[in-house]
Structure 1
């Protein structure tokens, strides 16, 4: 490969990740024409198109997918080598990008971020909050945070929070006005605060325990949200029954703003896990985050 092409490869990878020349140009701080020129130069030297272009979309060709996968892994190795060498001189540094659900900020991230700012001032932590599943490698993140069961087997995982209960809650005012369901079948006659899955787009079916069996319940109600924290806020305001993670509702339960409904119907869920590809664990900035998280766990 011609050495002068190396500087153009991050541009190609950014176009692939962002799915367009304009969005890549915005991220890189370049003009769209400069981005287009860089991609065209790589394609000409390669002798084949990396992207299939139409007036409305940009997509990787079959060869482009293989090229971007291998080139991305190679550049990541180079970045890691550079950061490790620099860290021996100056300590961990650089931009650490993490993809995480919104609920994790108050739950686990704030103390980690505070400790990182204190102990590793040359590391900038960027947290992109996204509730759906994320391809951390393909989307340019160093690591992600999800429930343990959602992490694929080819990733390394570090536990950030232990297993917890998934429960039903409602406000005292709602309970006083409408009563509480005595059985799972009674939930169909109650207002439920529904949750729409960000990635799949469907209304989430509630997984609950019915004796020795786990069942999925369809619910109905006057409000649908895509944010579990907002669902809790609506539950406190008396809009209906909310299906939630117990750690998120702990303060409201302790102060009486919420009460648990059907306490025997809870299920247990895997704790929160920080996950990342094996090769990424050698990057000093991620190693610093991992060590900090383990120390505070």
Structure 2
């Protein structure tokens, strides 16, 4: 496309919006005769009539309406990007709202924010820690954090962490009172700490896999929580076996407060991703935070 094409198309769109050559010429800072010549040149090049002119008004033809429907969002996107580039030259600012489950909010988002925020004092970040899946568009979040396989296909997903695996854990005291399960099927003989999912309303079925075969196990026990920290507290106190992402329990595993079991039955899977709508115009502050979170391992 030639540079003149963009100038002529913008002139046509302005005339169509103003419904007047006089008002459009004033808006574009040109003469009415020059603008009329530009429209005639565009119509000749396209070999189609775009505007119907009368002594009292200017109206788009059917072809003109089709062109307007294409040009209006395209020029709006260009204007938005130019505004963002202009803002980028200024100091990044604004509020960024993110929904994430408590684990990645603590282990992934916070370490990055701790380094990021001191450099950008005018950027404000709100984190909503929720175990359930959230509609980020309806709830007006800028982005969400979930496992890669939980992100909808119409979202842009940016990987922000390594592969993770689930881990079945229990305290040394619990293991001392009970034999260790050798397979997931033996969990029916144990006191397991359940997780209730807020969005689905049901209990999380523990997911396992081995030799390329994946399956789920329904477990039972005295306790059910809707928050992982409560599950960990109960597991540390010896009330049963918990099943959560391994990285959420790293300090407990390192110190021996919790002991991992069934490791061969919990293969790694796609890690955490930051996701946001594909049509979202990224503000400079949000774009900077995305790059700061991007996984480069």
Do Structure 1 and Structure 2 share a fold, with TM-score over 0.5? yes
Change (3 A) 1:86 1:175: same
The CA deviation at 1:212 is: 4.4
Contact 1:87 1:93 in 2 (8 A): no
Asked whether the 8 Å contact 1:77–1:279 carries over to 2, the reply is no
CA distance in 2, matches of 1:205, 1:276: 27
Partner of 2:277: 277
1:232 and 2:232 aligned: yes
| Alignment of 1:158 onto 2:158 | yes
CA change 1:80–1:225 in 2 (3 A) is farther
Report the alpha carbon displacement of residue 269 of structure 1 after superposing the two structures with TM. 2.4
Paired residue secondary structure (2:169) = strand
Structure 2 match to 1:120: 120
Who is 1:148 aligned against? 148
Q: What's 1:262 paired with?
A: 262
Distance 1:80 1:223, change over 3 A: farther
- Determine the structure 2 residue equivalent to 1:294: 294
In the other structure, the counterpart of 1:102 is 102
CA contact (8 A) 2:235 2:242 kept: yes
Distance 2:239 2:131 in 1: 23
Consecutive unaligned residues of structure 2, counting only runs of 5 or more, are 1-72
The aligned runs of 1:41-190 (5 Å cut-off) are: 84=84, 87-190=87-190
Structure 1 residues 181-260: aligned runs within 5 Å = 181-210=181-210, 212-260=212-260
Q: Is the 8 A contact 2:105 2:127 kept in 1?
A: no
User: Are the structure 2 counterparts of residues 281 and 116 from structure 1 closer, same or farther at C-alpha, using a change threshold of 3 Å?
Assistant: farther
Q: Matches of 1:101 and 1:109 in 2, distance apart?
A: 11
Change (3 A) 1:212 1:280: closer
* Partner SS, residue 107 of structure 2: helix
**In structure 2, do the counterparts of structure 1 residues 191 and 262 end up closer, same or farther at CA, with 3 Å as the change threshold?**
same
Q: 1:257 to 1:88 in 2, by over 3 A?
A: closer
Q: Please report how far the alpha carbon of residue 108 of structure 1 lies from its aligned counterpart in structure 2 after TM superposition.
A: 0.3
Q: TM-score normalised to the size of structure 1?
A: 0.69
Per the TM alignment, residue 211 of structure 1 is displaced from its structure 2 partner at its CA by 5.0
Instruction: Count the aligned residue pairs.
Output: 224
Deviations 1:236-274 (A, max 9, x none): 110111111111112111111111112221132210000
Q: Is the Cα–Cα contact under 8 Å of residues 207 and 267 in structure 1 kept in the other structure?
A: no
Counterpart residue number, 1:27: none
- Kindly indicate whether the alpha-carbon contact (under 8 Å) linking 2:159 and 2:295 is maintained by their aligned counterparts in 1: no
**CA RMSD after TM alignment:** 2.6
